[in-house]
Chain A
């Protein structure tokens, strides 16, 4: 199977879906002529033309709303935010229009669109450009939220998101665009939304991790394995709707749960998962559910401080030891 980068995997997904359905189109800042700020959309303008790949002005609220309107008349827009930090400006359209249109119209208008782009930390881009906003969007009924952690997951999940008839917030990770992995070139290989993936099987502790934290969790599991502690690493892949059943089944087996995320702890996705684990697997817990989250501060600019603000392998290992009383 070909080994490609996350960037190229996303590119393939976009290309294949643009080829498959002419109602799909792409818009965002620098997506066309510039080939994409992170080159995720490289070569698409050339192949599909400027009616399918559209450069927008720097107007997130505007082009998000434009996308909603296009979706309402039957098109399938993919709206790129250069980073999800800029989506904050567009939230009125994402939340008040896209999320609610199906419900408020009594089912008359479906919104088959995808809002995609990188979220979370990057490399010294500081407070306003390092935010992990998935719990914001996951808060609203009417939105789906997806976060891939491997190139294969990214491609399969993006294709499913584009084919989904609901608005999907698809959050990539800039630090992971260069990550390499095996990806099938089968244009019909989809990964279903709402299904978690057990990235590593284990028996002594469950680590739930998403996006950037997945490779770190896997490294932590290897380190702990050397000490005889066997960790099960679960990547939910879709944040909303959450596959809590897979997580609960795992906790019933291991009796311990650690959640690793780069987002702030308060009202984060980890808090939601922790609450659901406690509700559904209380009698199986040997220790309270532990969250390893990003520091509860605006992201610092200084490199050393930035490193301290994002969880690393050591913090995940320490958390597992804590819940295992080792």
Chain B
């Protein structure tokens, strides 16, 4: 009995997935539980497992294509059974991402004439992804006299570099636009109308970004390249719009004297040199401590109620190639600094390799973002909804401070807290900052906590 394989819900916030890589080919035998594909969700790449035994009879979605949850993406069945009824009931192939290099796009064009045909109908692109069949797109931009006559290689080159063919005149017979016309146009840095359909590959983007450097004539809009968004980037975009817009943010800044914290770090690293404790680990611990002291900050706006969390689950912002992700240190108030250090290291490593599970990057009660290593003195961070606040850490810098009526040099750190005013008032936030500052300037509080 053949089965349809549908796009599974692999994370709580997942609404659609992108097929990153098929691990099996059509015709391969699969067994229950065996991974058959890697799927890009909004945050990480996850393996999808076969839910039964059989042969992977038909792949309906190609690498790089996206599909919403529940859409049929493959058929598994016996090697010889008729799967036509199942195929017909599967909705048409989804929109594609033009990530492919030019060479592979030719092969894909031959393999999926049907997909290209449905693509022409489905050009309602939610994202910036371009239709794979550029010739179909370009035929809409015709000259006033009628058809656009272009050689195949010229059409492809134009599509890849985002050139609008209707701006070009062809030097071939009958006005045919030929390869040379595209090469000339690119050399002169021809202006393109910001075509929402242009999505050059990595190879072509090298050309367009190279063109401005060569051309002596710089006028009009800058040449550009459009890069299709990864799932992660789209999710960040979607979620943050639901943050800074609707969430009434306010910001509190304070400057912390870090000398004792720096000494603590030095001391810990003398005892455990392999551990390599950083200031950030101490900060996380201090934040957890301060949250326990100020439980009103460990809060979340839940429409009808304010939710107050019992544990300090701290989301630590990690920058990856694909975007920002915040793996969570659960119950940080119960963990030692070295435990926090190890956990952050492990989670960050897996975050960069896109191997975090959803439980590991969702459900924080408070987040910390540190741009100190990039030399940022201070900044305001955007709250990760539905959390109530986020703490932005700047760079440590030696500054003159007044102590006991004398000027001393102290290592200082500026931190800025962003609060959701629906659940945290100014005084509440300020008290949290005071606690945080107190424990950072006197880390011994951590011992008696």
- A residues with a Cβ closer than 8 A to B are 255, 282-287, 325
Sorted nearest first, the 8 A-B pairs with minimum C-beta distance are A286-B179, A286-B151, A283-B106, A286-B153, A283-B152, A255-B153, A285-B152, A284-B153
A286 CA / B153 CA spacing, docked (Å): 5
A257 CA / B419 CA spacing, docked (Å): 68
A285 CA / B176 CA spacing, docked (Å): 13
A287 CA / B151 CA spacing, docked (Å): 6
Q: Is B279 close to A, CB under 8 A? A: no
Known interface pairs A285-B151, A287-B151. Does A325 touch B156 (Cβ–Cβ under 8 Å)?
no
Q: How far is the CB of A285 from chain B (nearest CB, A)?
A: 5
Residues of A near B82 (CB, < 8 A) are none
Residues of B near A325 (CB, < 8 A) are 171-173, 178, 180
Q: Are B178 and A283 in contact (CB under 8 A)?
A: no
Q: Is B359 close to A, CB under 8 A? A: no
Q: How far is the CB of A251 from chain B (nearest CB, A)?
A: 10
Please name the residue on chain A nearest to B155 by beta carbon: A283
Q: Are B156 and A287 in contact (CB under 8 A)?
A: no
Known interface pairs A325-B178, A325-B180. Does A283 touch B156 (Cβ–Cβ under 8 Å)?
yes
Q: How far is the CB of A250 from chain B (nearest CB, A)?
A: 14
Q: Is the interface of B mostly helix, strand, loop or mixed?
A: helix
What 0/1 pattern do residues 197 to 216 of B give for CB contact below 8 A with A? 00000000000000000000
Q: How far is the CB of B104 from chain A (nearest CB, A)?
A: 11
Known interface pairs A282-B152, A325-B180. Does A287 touch B172 (Cβ–Cβ under 8 Å)?
yes
Residues of A near B179 (CB, < 8 A) are 255, 286
Please name the residue on chain B nearest to A278 by beta carbon: B152
Residue with the highest number of chain A CB atoms closer than 10 Å, among B152, B173, B178:
B152
Q: How far is the CB of B153 from chain A (nearest CB, A)?
A: 5
Q: List 26 A-B contacts (CB under 8 A).
A: A255-B153, A255-B179, A282-B152, A283-B109, A283-B152, A283-B153, A283-B156, A284-B106, A284-B152, A284-B153, A285-B151, A285-B152, A285-B153, A286-B151, A286-B152, A286-B153, A286-B154, A286-B178, A286-B179, A287-B151, A287-B172, A287-B178, A325-B172, A325-B173, A325-B178, A325-B180
Residues of B near A285 (CB, < 8 A) are 151-153
Please name the residue on chain A nearest to B179 by beta carbon: A286
A255 CA / B152 CA spacing, docked (Å): 9
Q: Which residues 104-118 of B have a CB within 8 angstroms of A? A: 106, 109
Q: Is the interface of A mostly helix, strand, loop or mixed?
A: loop
What 0/1 pattern do residues 106 to 141 of B give for CB contact below 8 A with A? 100100000000000000000000000000000000
Please name the residue on chain A nearest to B170 by beta carbon: A325
A287 CA / B154 CA spacing, docked (Å): 10
Residues of A near B178 (CB, < 8 A) are 286-287, 325
A285 CA / B156 CA spacing, docked (Å): 10
A286 CA / B154 CA spacing, docked (Å): 7
Please name the residue on chain B nearest to A326 by beta carbon: B180
Residues of B near A255 (CB, < 8 A) are 153, 179
Residues of A near B171 (CB, < 8 A) are 325
Residues of A near B154 (CB, < 8 A) are 286
A255 CA / B180 CA spacing, docked (Å): 11
A284 CA / B180 CA spacing, docked (Å): 13
A283 CA / B107 CA spacing, docked (Å): 10
Please name the residue on chain B nearest to A284 by beta carbon: B153
Residues of B near A286 (CB, < 8 A) are 151-154, 178-179
What 0/1 pattern do residues 281 to 309 of B give for CB contact below 8 A with A? 00000000000000000000000000000
What 0/1 pattern do residues 161 to 197 of B give for CB contact below 8 A with A? 0000000000111000011100000000000000000
What 0/1 pattern do residues 232 to 245 of B give for CB contact below 8 A with A? 00000000000000
A284 CA / B106 CA spacing, docked (Å): 9
Q: How far is the CB of B107 from chain A (nearest CB, A)?
A: 10
A284 CA / B173 CA spacing, docked (Å): 18
Q: How far is the CB of A147 from chain B (nearest CB, A)?
A: 30
Please name the residue on chain A nearest to B151 by beta carbon: A286
Q: How far is the CB of A228 from chain B (nearest CB, A)?
A: 13
Residue with the highest number of chain B CB atoms closer than 10 Å, among A283, A284, A285:
A283
Q: How far is the CB of A227 from chain B (nearest CB, A)?
A: 15
Residues of A near B109 (CB, < 8 A) are 283
Please name the residue on chain A nearest to B171 by beta carbon: A325
Residue with the highest number of chain A CB atoms closer than 10 Å, among B151, B154, B178, B180:
B151
Residues of B near A283 (CB, < 8 A) are 106, 109, 152-153, 156
Residues of B near A282 (CB, < 8 A) are 152
Q: How far is the CB of A286 from chain B (nearest CB, A)?
A: 4
Q: How far is the CB of B427 from chain A (nearest CB, A)?
A: 67
Please name the residue on chain B nearest to A282 by beta carbon: B152
A259 CA / B179 CA spacing, docked (Å): 21
